[in-house]
Amino acid sequence: MELISKPSRVAWLGNYVPRQCGIATFTRDLCEAIALEYPETHCLVGAVNDRNESYHYPERVRFEFHEKDINSYRRAADFLNINNVELLNVQHEFGIYGGPAGSHLLALLRDVRMPLVTTLHTVLSDPTPEQRWVMAELIRLSDRLVVMAQHGAHLLSEVYGVSSDKVDIIPHGIPDMPFVDPSFYKDQFGVEGKTVLLTFGLLSPNKGIEYVIEALPSILEKHPEVVYIVLGATHPNLLAREGEIYRLSLERLAEARGVKQNVIFYNRFVTPEELRAFMGAADIYITPYLQANQITSGTLAYAFGAGKAVISTPYWHAQELLNNNDCGQLVPFRDAPAIATAVLELMQGPCRLPSSRKAAYLIGREMIWPTVAQRYMESFCLARKRHTQPARKAFADKTLDKEKTELPPFKLDHLFRMTDDTGLLQHATYTVPNYREGYCTDDNARAYILTVFLEELGVGTSTRTVETLAARYLAFLNYAFERDSGRFRNFMTYSRQWVDGAGSEDSHGRALWALGTALGRSRNDGHRKLCSGLIEQGLVGVDKFTSPRAWAFTLLAIHEYLRRYSGDRVANALRDSLTHRLTELFRTVSQPEWPWFEKSATYDNPRIPQALILSGYWTSQPEVLEIGLTSLRWLATIQTGPNGHFRPIGCNGFLNCNEPPAEFDQQPLEAHAMVSACLEAFRVTKDPFWSTEARRAFEWFLGRNDMGQPLYDISTGGCRDALHQDRLNENEGAESTLAFHLTLAEMKLSENVMDQTLR
């Protein structure tokens, strides 16, 4: 068929290696086959986990979700949406997803906006009511369905009423292996000169291996050189539930039948290279499975690809592949004598076995991965062409209490990577810390605020605690403070040399903000005592500052401090003074079309309205509160892109009065400031407009922006430094990474506050 509009960005969903299961291997092999056959297509994977700790996934896996956590499925859907995935291929098996009959998967599929192709690894002929309901929804949501055998397509039609024009029959892929004599590999396993029978796959009682062992005495009477290799680890679920009971029973059976020396167990999950060698050494491949309703067997397909004569029980997939008896033989279920007879017939004369091997190999040519990849791409293109479901609104305008499940989890790996024994390094080259740029007080202050928020949220790890980071950042702030001048120094080289006598007023204000946050929120007495002394000395000179942003940062510090120490007369007096200065500045500069504090809006703009919103509310000054809300609403208006997304004022020109704002370069710092200010406005007014604005600014990090690209890097836990006109700045420095995690922390803290309010 003619390919139509091949997708440039495809995602796979399912188990993935190194998780030990057949679907994990299949997902890996299919994804890599597509990537190799179509190098212009970007391939990424979402892996479903069956345990709390992560697997050591390869880079292809961009996100993970837990099979029993339905909220993680919804987060995965949003990740797919914001990453501009053009097609999703889901590997479906009832047992790998959570909920009744794996129904958690539906929460994800209902939320994704791209075409969906579902590969059905199982199609049940007699489903339970729950399984039938899940299948009906899966069929409805999918643009194409893939089965690996004709019988699967027949069941979809007869049992589930699926039209044949929605179904693609694509065989299970196999490696493209040469047709070689088994003797070439046998010496690797010490079976040279032997006739090798092989069964491969995760070991479990439904595999019927005991019937092959029961057949061995009859086979060995005529061919004592036969050995039977059972290759594969015990299925992880069985191992967790029962241990090695089944394997031990097989070993005892072999000993009881006197064939112990002719049965070899390899109890491990082998690599693809090892499997090639084992398959290469086999003369006859046996699948003695006990159930008929198996429409797919990857190991059976592999045997055909390797050119092996096959003996199998008549489950559905085997019936289709072995309808030509030249390839091997079908035997009844649970019938050891029939297995023995089939083996002996294949070994009659010098020609029968090579002839069967060649016939199987020729059939296998239709199943090699390059061919299968082409067939899947055809299915993907059909799905794109026929995708008619209405797109889900990417980001609904809901208040934050209704959006809890969409916030991603914390991933602090990059923060730890950027932190050493001195403190937090300023910059990174891509994801690698840049030692040449050293450290700064600004970033260590922000980082300390983040640790206080994380403490409040109860976030930490068992091996690298947030408390360790907090102590490191506070130690940096303590060292940065110059007692004689009463000022914080800002820039330090990697060799721990200060390069300035006193930092900027803004950096001083940020340092105070960090100290005030700890005093108002932290439960660490040692930290609070140190912060108390520093903030007392650091506030002394602020009344001489001239920077409006430094005034705003100090006001934010004071309001955090007054959470716990509301009776401090010095702090209250300084709050009144700085509030008055900002208010007078607004009255002097603002105009009807320019409700702002300066003749230009530059960086960290929302912090000024945020400070006045707090002051106006807590000191009962309605006019001050209104100035804060008016100026913030104006910022929200001018920082809105044509599609309704958040577009911060770019630092390449900023915004001057009566001129259009610079559209680029957009900084994460601006999105963070907007979220903080809007959350404060929402807490004060309860107006859902502000929660919507906070959500809109937060989504800028996740891809709702001018380029449609996420700045937050879910694979590293870092955040890209900027959004340029034509690309992302791929460096993941401290300021940008902290901007995202501080934003996420504040969003989560706001949820907690609203939950308590509702209760």
pLDDT tens readout for residues 3-14: 356 899 999 999
Nearest to 389 by CA among 112, 7, 704: 112
- pLDDT, tens digit, for every residue of 424-478? 999 999 999 999 999 999 999 999 999 999 999 988 644 458 999 999 999 999 9
- pLDDT, tens digit, for every residue of 292-349? 877 778 888 888 888 899 999 998 888 888 876 688 899 999 999 999 999 999 998 8
What is the pLDDT, as a whole number, of residue 462? 44
Does some domain include residue 392? no
Mean pLDDT on 602-612: 97
The answer, yes or no, to whether residue 751 has pLDDT greater than 90, is no
The answer, yes or no, to whether residue 388 has pLDDT greater than 70, is no
> Do 519 and 625 belong together in one domain?
yes
> Do 46 and 110 belong together in one domain?
yes
The answer, yes or no, to whether residue 403 has pLDDT greater than 60, is no
> Do 451 and 529 belong together in one domain?
yes
What is the pLDDT, as a whole number, of residue 752? 54
Nearest to 118 by CA among 95, 161, 87: 87
Contact 508, 550 (CB under 8 A): yes
What is the pLDDT, as a whole number, of residue 691? 94
Does some domain include residue 4? no
Nearest to 755 by CA among 397, 398, 403: 403
| Number of domain units in the chain | 3
> Do 568 and 441 belong together in one domain?
yes
- pLDDT, tens digit, for every residue of 198-234? 998 888 888 999 999 999 999 999 999 999 999 988 8
Does some domain include residue 347? yes
> Do 189 and 169 belong together in one domain?
no
The identity of residue 459, as a single letter, is V
Mean pLDDT on 83-100: 92
Instruction: Kindly indicate the confidence band of residue 402, based on its pLDDT and cuts at 50, 70 and 90.
Output: very low
> Do 166 and 94 belong together in one domain?
yes
Does some domain include residue 742? yes
- Separation between Cα atoms, residue 413 and residue 6, nearest integer Å: 35
Q: Based on C-alpha coordinates, what's the Rg of the chain? A: 33
Please tell me which residue, 359 or 589, carries the higher pLDDT value.
Answer: 589
> Do 408 and 346 belong together in one domain?
no
- Separation between Cα atoms, residue 361 and residue 306, nearest integer Å: 6
Can you give the pTM of this predicted structure? 0.52
Report which DSSP code applies to 441.
H
Q: Please report, for the chain, how many H helices and E strands are present, in that order.
A: 27, 25
> Do 87 and 203 belong together in one domain?
no
What is the pLDDT, as a whole number, of residue 270? 79
> Do 583 and 719 belong together in one domain?
yes
Contact 259, 159 (CB under 8 A): no
- For residue 531, give the CATH number of its domain: 1.50.10.10
> Do 547 and 596 belong together in one domain?
yes
The answer, yes or no, to whether residue 757 has pLDDT greater than 50, is no
- Per the prediction, the chain carries an average pLDDT of 90
Place of tokens 């797109």: 391
The answer, yes or no, to whether residue 645 has pLDDT greater than 80, is yes
Does some domain include residue 460? yes
> Do 686 and 714 belong together in one domain?
yes
Nearest to 91 by CA among 177, 145, 134, 27: 27
Contact 67, 49 (CB under 8 A): yes
Does some domain include residue 590? yes
Nearest to 640 by CA among 608, 616, 663: 663
What is the pLDDT, as a whole number, of residue 17? 94
- In the chain, the percentage of residues whose pLDDT exceeds 90 is 69
Domain end call among 355, 386, 417: 386
The answer, yes or no, to whether residue 389 has pLDDT greater than 50, is no
What is the pLDDT, as a whole number, of residue 643? 83
The answer, yes or no, to whether residue 47 has pLDDT greater than 90, is yes
Mean pLDDT on 584-605: 96
Mean pLDDT on 650-676: 94
- For residue 252, give the CATH number of its domain: 3.40.50.2000
Domain end call among 335, 356, 386: 386
Beta bridge partners of residue 591, listed in sequence order:
594
Does some domain include residue 315? yes
Please tell me which residue, 238 or 169, carries the higher pLDDT value.
Answer: 169
The answer, yes or no, to whether residue 758 has pLDDT greater than 70, is no
Instruction: Kindly indicate the confidence band of residue 394, based on its pLDDT and cuts at 50, 70 and 90.
Output: very low
> Do 166 and 234 belong together in one domain?
no
What is the pLDDT, as a whole number, of residue 3? 39
Nearest to 673 by CA among 699, 637, 698, 641: 698
- Separation between Cα atoms, residue 435 and residue 677, nearest integer Å: 33
Nearest to 65 by CA among 739, 217, 321, 55: 55
Q: How far is CA 391 from the centre of its chain?
A: 22
Half-sphere exposure of 190 (CA within 13 A, CB side): 5
Continuous H helices in 599-733: 607-618, 622-638, 668-685, 688-702
What is the pLDDT, as a whole number, of residue 4? 56
Does some domain include residue 236? yes
Helix, strand, or coil (residue 744): helix
The answer, yes or no, to whether residue 584 has pLDDT greater than 80, is yes
The answer, yes or no, to whether residue 595 has pLDDT greater than 50, is yes
**DSSP states along 309-360:** EEEE---HHHHHHTSSGGGEEE--TT-HHHHHHHHHHHTSTTTHHHHHHHHH
Domain that holds residue 97: 9-173+371-386
